[in-house]
Chain A
Amino acid sequence: MISSELSNRIIFILSLLGLAVASFLFYEYQISGSIVCPTGQGCDIVRASPYSRFFGISIPILGIVFYLTMSALAVVRTQLFSFKIHTLQLLIAVLGVGFGIYLTYLEIFVIGAICFWCVLSFIISIIVLLSVILARKNL
């Protein structure tokens, strides 16, 4: 268990980091050249696949919305920490990680390529979820 303040700060900082990763990918999805990718050409393959969009929405946009919501909730939580806010954080974080599991499954088993930035975002979302869960509920 970690204190509520520490948990909230971790959530805030990691959400901003996740936002940076998602924004970078959003930028890369707009241009046509190769993506800077430490795992070789994985990012290009993932971007070129039909799974780079979810119901017509570019996946990085979903990432941006997710991290923006998480960081905004962290700001709200510094002012009023209620059970509702915590539940909302938990719900959105679970949704985010769940979606991340689905995307990572697609990368490994369907597309057959790993996009470094997507996996990094997935790891960040897992730590965000853990911080939400581990927060001491000192309501």
Chain B
Amino acid sequence: MSWFTQALTSSIGKKLIMSLTGLFLISFLVIHATINAMIFYNDGGETFSHWGHFMGTNPIIRTLEIGLVLGFLLHIADGLWLTKANNDARPVKYAVSNASANSKWYSRSMGLLGTLILIFLVIHTSHFWIPNRTNQFATGEELNLYQMMLDIFQNIWVVLIYVAGCFSLFWHLLHGFESAFKSLGLYHVKYNGAIHFVGVAFSIVIPVLFALMPISIFFGWVY
């Protein structure tokens, strides 16, 4: 095995991949939330569609999109690999475990939260991204995503699934944001406070912003 493969397949290397792909996906969340928040202009989707068109057709963005898909796949595959290895590391479980005395439940449940987000992602992409790209591929035309949002978010169950997805994302980020820096070796009293503050703020702001989108459409605040 070369030094490179050895490094990336070691326990620390697997965590490095988790950390880097996680931070990459965090940067994606910023872009995704910003562009989707254009619906709050409440201008019949004009600003949103303008930026949606840019994101859907610009060649640089479309190339980066391949990187994004790879980033998701790597984060998911590495997560499953780590979860399996971690389960195997303790073949006989404890009969009594008082883990709440030493750690937070969401820190211990990243695999579960990640799986919930993955299920949400399948539902979410089959609502918007997959039909839009399929249509673009077949006809060269983009779908009216704004109108699709207005239609899809009339269903209370869909809205509830999206809100539940945002909760999963909140807990996942609350541990993941800070954890990504720790895995990179960035843990020091000089900046721990700053990372913690930004991490908590990010974990709240992004999911709340996302959750407000289906909620606002359902209640007719955005139309």
Genuine A/B complex? no
Which residue numbers of B lie inside 8 Å of A, CB to CB? none
